[in-house]
Amino acid sequence: MQDASMVGRICLVTGATSGIGRATAEGLAQRGATVWLAGRDATKGAAVRDAIRAASGNPLVEFLRADLSSQREIRTLAAELHQRTDRLHVLVNNAGGIFFRRTLTVDGIEATLALDHLAYVQLTLASLDLLTAGAPARVICVSSQAEASGRIDFADLQAERSYQAFRVYAQAKLANLLFCRALARRVADRGIVANAVTPGPVATNFGGGRGVLGRITPLLFRIIGRPVEYAAASVLRLACDPAYATVTGKAFYGERERTTSPQSYDVAIQEQLWQVSVALVGADDDARG
């Protein structure tokens, strides 16, 4: 099902070695796009790249290794992007996870905030010149319905005082929406749209890892979750469908636009979070409001 409008479009998908990201990358490859898979594991990445090439018959699929919880590795990824291309048409910020114990990244930042939110910010801002050159371009941020119970705790953004994995995850997923809406506003005049997907439970490896919770969580999601293709279809619609070319600052699941939590529309919180996030990643804020 090649899509003539996607041939020649360059798409970067983070967290493309598993779950929603992998299914999205495969869908983009099937449509004939050039697809770059970003992930942290080179061996797994090469295997997924080969599998997607074989399944789609599209050779224009590459793997780029980067641990997106590391700011240095995101900078290196951005530098590699700039070596490979002078434009980018689609950026899917998807890599994410939940950490059942408070964990710090190599940069000393709480890992959920770093991976699920700050990586979206840093990679998007580092790619903004490429997206501008590729315009019309589309940014998609994979958030979660968990955002509804989220609150941005500016006094304790990194949960130093008390840590509850789901609360910290919900904060990061709310941050995805706040970032996406602030971004949409700032890049509207550049021909870039930014939208979010807020999947409900999806049958993926989400939450997998060590310990009892790391074993139980993916099993639970496999029982209660929708098929991964359903979530990927939402991302693919936003990435490819001409009907969404000018839609921006919205959240979707399935074909439907979704009303998200009241706090996710709060422009003051969006702006405060933008400033704090840009400072935390030391980004060149090319999209200053």
Ligand X SMILES: NC(=O)c1ccc[n+]([C@@H]2O[C@H](COP(=O)([O-])OP(=O)(O)OC[C@H]3O[C@@H](n4cnc5c(N)ncnc54)[C@H](OP(=O)(O)O)[C@@H]3O)[C@@H](O)[C@H]2O)c1
Strands annotated E in 146-241: 192-197
Cα separation, 252 vs 259, whole angstroms:
8
Question: Closest distance between ligand X and the C-beta of residue 33, in Å?
Answer: 19
- Residue 196 β-bridge partners: 141, 251
What does the binding site for ligand X look like in residue numbers (CB under 6 A)? 15, 17-21, 39-41, 44, 67-69, 94-97, 115, 142, 144, 199, 201-202, 204-206, 221, 225
Nearer to ligand X, 191 or 201 (CB): 201
56 neighbors 267 (Cβ within 8 angstroms): no
Question: Closest distance between ligand X and the C-beta of residue 189, in Å?
Answer: 28
Question: Closest distance between ligand X and the C-beta of residue 152, in Å?
Answer: 17
Find where tokens 């490979």 sit.
84
> Cα–Cα distances in Å, from 219 out to 173, 205, 224?
22, 8, 9
Catalytic entry in 169, 230, 244, 253: 169
Question: Closest distance between ligand X and the C-beta of residue 41, in Å?
Answer: 4
Nearer to ligand X, 39 or 150 (CB): 39
Nearer to ligand X, 118 or 128 (CB): 118
Provide the sign of the torsion angle of the four alpha carbons 89, 267, 178, 259, taken in this order: negative
| 120 carries an active-site annotation | no
CA dihedral 144, 222, 115, 64 (to 10 degrees): -120
Nearer to ligand X, 44 or 87 (CB): 44
Could you give the residue numbers annotated as active site? 169
